[in-house]
Structure 1
Amino acid sequence: MINLLQLFIQKYKKKLLLPVVVIGIILFISIQSFLKSATPQADSIPTIPLKENLTVEETIEYVEDPIVFVEVKGAVMKPGVYELSEGDRVLKAIEMAGGYIESSNSKHINHAERVKDEMVIYIPKEGEEVEESPLATNGSSQSSLVNINNADATVLTTLPGIGVAKAEAIIAHREQSGAFKDKQDLTKVTGIGQKTFEKLEPLITVK
């Protein structure tokens, strides 16, 4: 049997060569295709685009309170002009001026009032007559008027242009000539001219 097979192959080997090669190629391709289909493939993972991280910088503005200048006059330890922040209270201005002297009269002072630029805080003494509120602001209807008929030298020197000498001259004039009947009479005092009087007129009274 084997001999017959060998004789058959030898006789027809040239004719069988081509079909065998073709069949071999077909089998090889089939096996490769089978192996590829059998190999598990990882699912493609879609690419998720990264969102840009937007960094928002928060800008914190530190706004300082506006500066105001307030003048504290009268019965305080250290009369003068003081620098405060807008919104501060009258109490702070008085504390900066050293507080009250013993003879001060603070019952009409609103310590909780907020200060304003160019504000004048006048603290009267006991027994001193002061018209309206002792607090005044520039151009405000509230005013602190100094009564030149009964104010002492300390109070008079809080007026603009009035030093110790002129304050004593005012007191001497009213002691010699009597009380001032009109504010204009202040020009009769030695050393007080019309220009000085014009500065003093809105700040004084004779009542």
Structure 2
Amino acid sequence: MSVLKRYVWFIMVLAVIGVLYFSNPSNDGKTERTEVEEVTIQGEEEKKTPSATMKVDVKGEVNTPGVYTMKEGTRVDDVIKEAGGMTENADMTSVNLAQRIQDEMVIFVTSITTAQSTSNESGEGNTPSGDKLSINRASASEMETLNGIGPSKAASIIKYREENGPFASVEDLVNVPGIGEKTLEGLKEWITVP
């Protein structure tokens, strides 16, 4: 009987140790995983949450032109809405509403009458007249009015601009496939960046 009592005590001690071991939260693998998951989720949220602000100058045919402070990652459409939207005379094709803003960016919404007079003046000479053409805002058809720029080069410029962001300088145009130094020299007097 004394041998049986010894084994019972031994089994009871092991049972108590087992209960204490498995009920301790620091040894629970699930708890540790949850904490890691929470840290990972917080890290992802921090990456998604833009913290930087940008100053953008909105001009032209908007109801309230001015300088606006916006969060990083904001689109041109959101800035124009912040500026009270476009006026009745605004040419909606003069800006890329889906473009992400950059700090110190100027968004200029032209009027319909300006757009019509520019297209009438440029005619068949394949050179723009009046103001320089902004390579960061121009549409493919507007770029095709430039000497040496056909439909494929215009499409390449727009593709490059959408994938890499706006051009920082006119000279950056040589980074576009199909445009070399010679083409750039012929375009410099007709194009601008802002």
- TM norm structure 1: 0.42
Please give the TM-score of this superposition, normalised by the length of structure 2.
0.45
Give 1 or 2: higher helix fraction.
2
Between 1 and 2, higher relative CO (CA 8 Å, sep ≥ 6) is seen in 2
Rg: which structure is higher? 1
